[in-house]
Each structure stands twice: as structure tokens, then as C-alpha cells.
Amino acid sequence: MKDKVLLVDDDALVLAGLKRQLRSQFRIDTALSGEEALQQVEENGPYAVIVSDFMMPGMNGIEFLAYVKKTSPDTVRMMLTGTADMPTAIRAVNEGNIFQFHPKPCPADTLSEAIQSAIQKYHKVVSHQQQLNNFKSSLEKASVVQHELLPKSDPEFDGFDIAGRSIWCDETGGDYYDFLYPPTNGKEKMGIVVGDVTDHGIPSALLMTTARAFLRERIQTTPSACASIISDVNKRLVQDVEVLDLFMTMFYCELDAKEKSIRWVKAGHEPAILWTPTAADSPELLAGKGLPLGVMDDAAYKEYQKPLSSGQIILIGTDGIKEAVNESGEMFGNQRLLQVIKDTADQPAIKILDRAFETLDRFCSPLKNDDDATLVVIKVQ
């Protein structure tokens, strides 16, 4: 099918001559004014190319092409006019963003070649736009899929009140949290993981999804200590990401309902915060040694353990919270999280979580946090 071209000129004889010369090569529509041409664009568009005169009653060619630029940006715009002075040409380029400027009279073969060149440009623009739309559609679908991989609800676990949330700065994220149940321990133990892939976006999302699959598979197979689980996941990740220059930090812990304790492994991640009511101003950091996942296949990981008591609150987050900055360049830091705990210690975990993200939003406003932010709140009952 021939490409559609719209010719705009207030001289009907000029239009008739141009149409006769070009109709064998293109599908030609004509309009005698800018107003009529805009109606044509609305009813019969989109056009691959629009060629307009400059001097026309009512709306001149530059005003018309400038309007077309807003309403039909993919259309390639050209000007064919007898008013070929420099100021007109400058205005046409600046306001109408025209592709080519041709003075009257213009030989038929010259105009035909110009339109052919414009059509080639049109197809490149349309193709690029279609690729961009396809990419956006795929990204939206990927975002939906990745969100589906996060926990659908907060867990119910005897002796603990738990809530978690991830907020991504892009459509897809590199932050990750999950609640896991080792199959051999019934309801006595539960694993909680918070991870953070370097950078964010699609590559980070893919690594996060891979790590999630490895960890879930590992926990469902052979029961073992936390350090052994993380070591095995690391070895598998190294095989997949060694040439990608990506790595992932992770904080993995197991809550023991029977012993009322926590075991944890830290793989290059932010320490968790352990708040105790009797030492409200001096929270303990659940730290430890261990390289991020995906760096060295023989990296060693150590398990730590601590008894827990009623009223204690544990926060496991990613650095997108602590390192968020406001308009003044000030970091959010851990002290603001500590204040959130003090203000909401008597409330359920979900309320503490809500307050933390509300405080973070107010701190960053009007800026948008440029990193993913994840937080899990564990309240010992």
C-alpha cells in the first residue's frame, strides 16, 4: 500500500498539478488551508508526510506545521513555498520542526525524491516507536510478574507479629524479601530473607528472581544450618553472574518459635536493628561477616544466634531506606527508623511498617527516592 501524503496550499491549481505529478507514487490528499488540513489529519490521518505552503489565509504554514508537530509527532513535515526568505526558513525549522524546506517552483523529480526521503524517515520513526511501545509493554508485564513473586500477605507465626514491604523506584526492582518455611520443622521455624541486588532495573530484577528460586529450592531440599544454605545459594549465583558484574547482598534469618530465638547470616547486607524496650536509645545491630552473593564461589558465611524476649522489635531493611536523601542532601539514616520504633512500639508490626514508609516519604518529598526500599518488621510477642 502506498504511503499517505497530505499537500496543503491555498492555490487549487498548484494542488491539482502536484497531485497529478505524484499520485502514481503516493496516496495524495489535498487541503486548501491550514484549518482544512487539520481536519484531514484528524479524520484521515496519520500521514507519513505533510507538505505545506507558507502564505495561506488564516493559519499560515508554520503555525499549521507547529500544530501538527503536537498532534501527530511522527508525521514528517516539509515546507514548499515561494516565500523563501531566511526569517521564514528559521521560523519553519524552529517552530514547525520541518524535515526539508523547498522553494517554489520545485521540479517534480526533486519533490518526489524529497518525499521519498521523508517517508523513509517516517518509517524509521514509527518502527522505533513501535519497538519502544513493545519494550514498555514487556516491562509492564515483567513488573506484574515480579510483584507476583513477592509475598501475597504477611505471615502468621506463633509468638511473632511480622510485616514486610518492597517499594521499587523503577517498574522492576532489585530488592527482595520473602517468608520461607523449612519443610521438616512444621510451624516451629520460619525463614525470613531480605536481599538487595546492585543497581536496579531489569538486570537486577532478573538476578533477584534467580536468587529467589535458588533459595526456595535449597530450603525445600536438605535441612541444614543457615550458613550452609547461603553458601550453596552463593555458589550457584556465582556460576550465573560472574561475567555480569552484578552481586547481591542478603540478610537471611530463621525465627525459632519454640526456643524464642533468631539465627542469622549476613552476606554483605545492612545489619538488622534489634530494639529492646529496656534499652530504647541503644538498639543492637545484628551484624556479622560475609561477602555479598555472586562475588566468590568459595566465600565463607557464619551463622549467629541470639535469644529473643517479648517486646523486642527487629527491623531488616535495604540501604535504599538509610541512604535516601532529601532536598538538602541529608541521608535518612538509622536514627529516624529508631524514632519510628519508639513512637509505635505498642502498635502492630504493620502499623510500624506503615509509619516507617510514611516517614521516609515525608523526608524525601518533593524528591523521589532513587533506590528500591524494602523493610521487614518483626515484633516479638
When pLDDT is cut at 50, 70 and 90, the band that residue 209 belongs to is: confident
Over the stretch 72-81, which tens digit does the pLDDT of each residue have? 999 999 988 7
Q: Which CATH number goes with the domain that contains 39? A: 3.40.50.2300
> Does residue 156 sit in the same domain as residue 299?
yes
When pLDDT is cut at 50, 70 and 90, the band that residue 341 belongs to is: very high
> Does residue 155 sit in the same domain as residue 134?
no
Domain that holds residue 38: 4-140
> Does residue 34 sit in the same domain as residue 107?
yes
Q: Which CATH number goes with the domain that contains 362? A: 3.60.40.10
Mean of pLDDT values over 30-58: 91
Structural domain contains residue 99: yes
> Does residue 15 sit in the same domain as residue 65?
yes
Over the stretch 156-179, which tens digit does the pLDDT of each residue have? 999 999 999 988 766 556 788 999
Phi, psi of 153 (to 5 degrees): -155, 165
Mean of pLDDT values over 188-202: 84
Among the candidates 101, 119, 140, a domain finishes at: 140
> Does residue 264 sit in the same domain as residue 373?
yes
> Does residue 194 sit in the same domain as residue 303?
yes
> Does residue 71 sit in the same domain as residue 157?
no
Q: Respond yes or no on whether the N-terminal peptide bond of residue 271 is cis (omega within 30° of 0).
A: no
State the pLDDT at residue 173: 62
Please determine, for residue 142, whether its predicted confidence score (pLDDT) is greater than 70: no
* 0.85 surpassed by pTM: no
When pLDDT is cut at 50, 70 and 90, the band that residue 182 belongs to is: confident
Q: Where does residue 206 fall: left (phi above 0), alpha (psi -120 to 50 degrees), or beta otherwise?
A: alpha
When pLDDT is cut at 50, 70 and 90, the band that residue 331 belongs to is: very high
> Does residue 135 sit in the same domain as residue 246?
no
Report the C-alpha gap between 220 and 213 in whole angstroms: 11
| Residue the block writes with cell 534499652 | 279
Reported in sequence order, the residue ranges of the chain that DSSP labels E, i.e. its strands, are 4-8, 27-31, 49-52, 76-81, 100-103, 156-157, 160-167, 175-180, 189-197, 248-256, 261-267, 272-275, 284-286, 304-307, 313-317, 373-380
Over the stretch 280-328, which tens digit does the pLDDT of each residue have? 889 999 999 999 998 888 899 999 999 999 999 999 999 889 998 999 9
Report the C-alpha gap between 96 and 67 in whole angstroms: 8
Q: What is the CA radius of gyration of the chain?
A: 32
Please determine, for residue 55, whether its predicted confidence score (pLDDT) is greater than 70: yes
> Does residue 121 sit in the same domain as residue 165?
no
Over the stretch 236-273, which tens digit does the pLDDT of each residue have? 888 877 666 778 899 999 999 999 999 999 999 999 99
Mean of pLDDT values over 55-67: 87
Structural domain contains residue 145: no
The residue that leads in pLDDT, 229 or 198, is 229
When pLDDT is cut at 50, 70 and 90, the band that residue 344 belongs to is: very high
**257 near 187, Cβ under 8 Å?**
yes
Number of domains into which the chain is organized: 2
